[in-house]
Amino acid sequence: MTEVLNMQNISKSYYMGEEELEVLRKVNLQVNSGEFLSLLGPSGSGKSTMMNIIGCLDIPSSGKYLLSGNDIEDLDETELAFIRNKEIGFVFQSFQLLPRLSALQNVELPLIYAGLSSTERKERSLKMLDRVGLVDKTKNLPTQLSGGQQQRVAIARALVTEPTILLADEPTGALDQKTGAQVMELFEELNHDGRTIIMITHDIGIARHAKRVVNILDGQLSEQGVQ
């Protein structure tokens, strides 16, 4: 099994005025390809910071982070953007779809930044919308879709670049229980197809869908064990 993510002694501090706030304390995490991992913790535990660092939106204060073998320590903004585009598929709690773009156009967005031609973008996006079961909604605007459908569009957008890791932040947080469960079902299916998923949540019920649960509390990780 290939290692896709390796964090060694990752720390992250913020400065609140004079005061130093240590959000992550010497975190070690290793994720192999094909894993479905959930990062479980209450708010303020540092899980958002973990997500930002895993997603290369932020860089650690100290420690070593290898993503698909790339050391992200010395990368500049532009290089980080390329890494995000190629390696990470983001799924957010509130979907973050652009309201004026159709479902298809939303899914196409990351492919624009990957530099694909419009025909290739359309082809891949349609395929991905089909995969999440929304092939008949391609022209709909986000407002014309239900919450569950919107999250499916967001998942299609996250997966359309074939990223190394699907990184989901409270993916069911804005959904009712039933649609939330459907989204989790989709995650399980995707994982079954070999997709590596890291899901950040505070909900133990949701976290249980993952094969591996890692607790985060006060900036430190503790493994719950593989289910």
Partner 1 sequence: MLFESIKMSYENIVRNKLRSFLTMLGIVIGVASIIALITIVQGATNSISDQVTELGANKITVNVMGTPLKQGLNQEDMLNISEEENIKGVSPTISGKTGIIYEGKLMENVTVQGKNEVYFNMDTSLLKTGRSINILDLNSKNQVAIIGSDIIHELYFGVDPIGKDLVINGTSYTVVGTLNASSGFSMGSNNESVIIPYTTAMRSLGVKNISSLDVFLEDTSLADDTVTDLKGVLNPAFNYKENAYTIFNMGDMIESFESMMSMMSLLLAGIAAISLVVGGIGIMNMMLVSITERTMEIGLRKALGATPKRIQLQFVIESIFLSLVGGLIGLVLGGLIAYTAAAFIGIGFSLSIATILLAVGFSGLVGIVFGYMPARKASQLNPIDALRSL
**What residues numbered 165-224 form the site for partner 1, per CB under 8 A?**
none
Rounded to a whole number of angstroms, the minimum distance from the CB of residue 34 to partner 1 is 23
Q: Is residue 55 at the binding interface for partner 1, with CB under 8 A as the rule?
A: yes
Cβ count within 10 A of residue 17 = 6
What residues does 91 pair with on adjacent strands?
168
Rounded to a whole number of angstroms, the minimum distance from the CB of residue 225 to partner 1 is 31
**What residues numbered 71-100 form the site for partner 1, per CB under 8 A?**
77-78, 81-82, 84-86, 90, 92, 94, 96, 98, 100
The DSSP 8-state label assigned to residue 173 in this structure reads T
Q: Which of 173, 180, 38 is nearest to 92 (CA)?
A: 173
What residues does 129 pair with on adjacent strands?
none
One of 157, 195, 209, 212 touching partner 1 (CB under 8 A): 157
Q: Is residue 114 at the binding interface for partner 1, with CB under 8 A as the rule?
A: yes
**Strand ranges, E, within the chain:** 3-16, 19-32, 36-40, 62-67, 70-71, 88-91, 165-169, 196-201, 212-217, 220-226
One of 161, 172, 191, 215 touching partner 1 (CB under 8 A): 161
Instruction: Name the residues that contact partner 1, by CB under 8 A.
Output: 52, 55, 57-58, 77-78, 81-82, 84-86, 90, 92, 94, 96, 98, 100, 109-110, 112-115, 157, 161
